[in-house]
Structure 1
Amino acid sequence: MDIPKNGEKWRTWKGLLKSRGYDPSLTIDEIVTQQTNNDDRVNPTQFKELVTRWFTPKFQTTCAAKRLSRSKMKDPHVTGTKLFARLAHEVATKNDGVYSTRGEMYIITTRIRKDESFVDDKAANVVASLKAIANDSASKPIRMVLQMMNTQKLKAQRKEGMFD
């Protein structure tokens, strides 16, 4: 028995149940009845405890804070638990050993929806600009990426020749 995998499956299952059944306008008992009637895999007593937890002020406060934090995210990059270096190596392996530029990695790791649209307008603009830069072989993509993203932090940390 692999505990981390079971923990991940349990977390995913709870999230699925919440996305299907949670409605703040209903009472706890109504949600439990509705969900247990629709899905025989749901244990009514365990689900009632879970729904009761969803309605606690502490849980509501935590959800609101997480929602606010996600809305402030400026560059929606995702690699999950996979290290960025490992992802770059996998991409290079697929490209016959040729490593991708930072711009290409930005495009690969930008969060998109199931319908292939971008989550964030800023990310969509940056990706469009990066694709335009990739078509123009005369430009220096790394410098353009830094200018486009307007990241003063990276510019301050930049050392001579580090990104050239």
Structure 2
Amino acid sequence: MVTSPNHQSDQSQSEQIPAESHVETPNSFGRMRKSLTKGQKRVRGYTRMSEVWDLPDGEFICVEVDALGNPIGWEGKKLLNALGCLVRKHQYAPINILSWKDMPELNITKMLQLIESKFHFVPKLTEQTKQILKDNLSAKWRQFKHDLKAKGYDENKTEEEMAANIPDRRVDPSQYRALVHHWCSQEGQTTEANGVQPSRAQIYIQTRTRKDGSIVTDKAANVIGELKKHMVEATSSRTPQTTQDSTNWQNDVYSKVRGPERRGSVRCLGKVPCNALVQRANVENRVHKLENLLGNLVSVLQTRFSADQEINDVLQAIAQEVPNAPSKPNDSFSNDQQTTSDSNWEC
């Protein structure tokens, strides 16, 4: 949903994302039709998101946010697509930077400002949601670099040959040349390049091993010894853990050595919402809705049975247990749900 607030847009809101340098011409369309007649498969072009970046100043796309701060709904999906489009712009997220943690804070700030100039968040944008947006930018940027390597890296070609064949026209040539140079360097060659997510055992070993090969503590050394032993056994027996989804942590090598997971966050999996957090947010949301419903019910019954003292005593006792209960039944059940729905989209 696109809205137009009354306040004036600041400089960040009026910022427009640079257009793609590639422009289709009538001749290019003719060549496409000709190629189709030869039996070649037509492929979808790049996602430009012009419906987002070309929004007039002062107009926004309303995005609803859930209790955990995650964008939801059709507009939330549109926002995530816009994040993926944004990190492919070389002026915002250069690909020659080796790691997201080395991305200049100014670049991240500019991307968030551009997003805030095109999207309006309901409820209001919080630091929790900002961090979720940053995590999405990081993940989509790393995925973009992985895709570039999958398409552009060829061990049978020289560095110059790979740098000359850019697989994506949105990429800046100088940045791509620097990226190819890193792929061909000794540091880049020693980095695992198959794109498979490491198992929890591999993560534990890598994060407890120093650059010189020593282990950080004696306890970690004992754990790593057991992990490697079980990893060898798993490889020799060709269990699904060695070839299938490494995030299947309930019966992986790490759980066999370190024991099953307790309540809370899963070890070695980074920033993922734990079950307790999700359940608590769902319970709080449900309780809030039930309190509103009960408050309206009490108000209606108080009006309808105002002359019955016994009923009023019961209703007053209930009302004391319901915070912020309405004092008069001006919000009926028939329009309460509609009012709540409308307020969620009011900008």
Query: Is TM > 0.5 for Structure 1 vs Structure 2?
Result: no
Instruction: Please say which structure displays the higher CA radius of gyration.
Output: 2
Structure with greater contact order relative to length (CA < 8 Å, sep ≥ 6): 2
Structure richer in helix, relative to its length: 1
TM-score by length of structure 2 reads 0.21
